[in-house]
């Protein structure tokens, strides 16, 4: 069975995003930005919280931006980084697209776990 162009595109986007997350510092950066919410964090705050040199952090943030997972905005003299929540949700939706062999109850549980609704 051949993949549709839409599925191929989604697959390529997912590979790039997952590749961006496939490194310890970048995954920690992304998780910190997710926790910060839409407020985001300045690079200096991220570097301090994670104990990562600013020059390394700049490289990691750039990789996450290229993966479509991080956005930035300028506030005065600072650049504030935020998780790109729509991209994160799209990635999770793609990964769960055919979840649980069509057993909706099971996939609903997975979604709830991801959302932190159940423990």
Name the one residue in this structure whose structure tokens are 């990562």. 52
pLDDT tens-digit profile of 7-39? Answer: 899 999 999 999 999 999 999 999 999 999 999
Which pLDDT value is given to residue 2?
78
Q: What is the C-alpha separation between 93 and 13, in angstroms, rounded?
A: 12
> Would you place residue 96 in the very low, low, confident or very high pLDDT band (cuts 50, 70, 90)?
confident
Mean pLDDT, rounded, of the chain = 87
Which pLDDT value is given to residue 17?
97
Domains of the chain, by residue range, sit at: 5-85
| 57-66 per-residue burial string, b: 16 or more CB within 10 A, e: under 16 | beebbebbee
Q: What is the C-alpha separation between 47 and 60, in angstroms, rounded?
A: 11
Residues 6 or more apart in contact with residue 61 via CB below 8 angstroms: 29, 43, 46, 70, 72, 81
CATH class assigned to 5-85: mainly alpha
What is the percentage of the chain residues whose pLDDT exceeds 90? 67
């Amino acid at each position: 069975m051949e993949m549709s162009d839409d599925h191929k595109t989604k697959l390529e986007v997912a590979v790039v995003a997952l590749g961006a997350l496939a490194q310890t510092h970048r995954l920690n950066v992304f998780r910190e930005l997710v926790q910060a919410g839409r407020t985001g964090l300045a690079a200096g705050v991220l570097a301090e919280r994670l104990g990562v040199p600013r020059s390394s952090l700049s490289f990691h943030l750039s990789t996450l931006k290229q993966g479509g997972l991080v956005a930035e905005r300028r506030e005065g003299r600072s650049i504030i980084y935020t998780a790109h929540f729509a991209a994160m949700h799209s990635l999770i939706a793609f990964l769960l697209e055919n979840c649980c062999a069509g057993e909706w109850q099971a996939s609903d549980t997975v979604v709830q776990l991801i959302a932190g609704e159940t423990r």
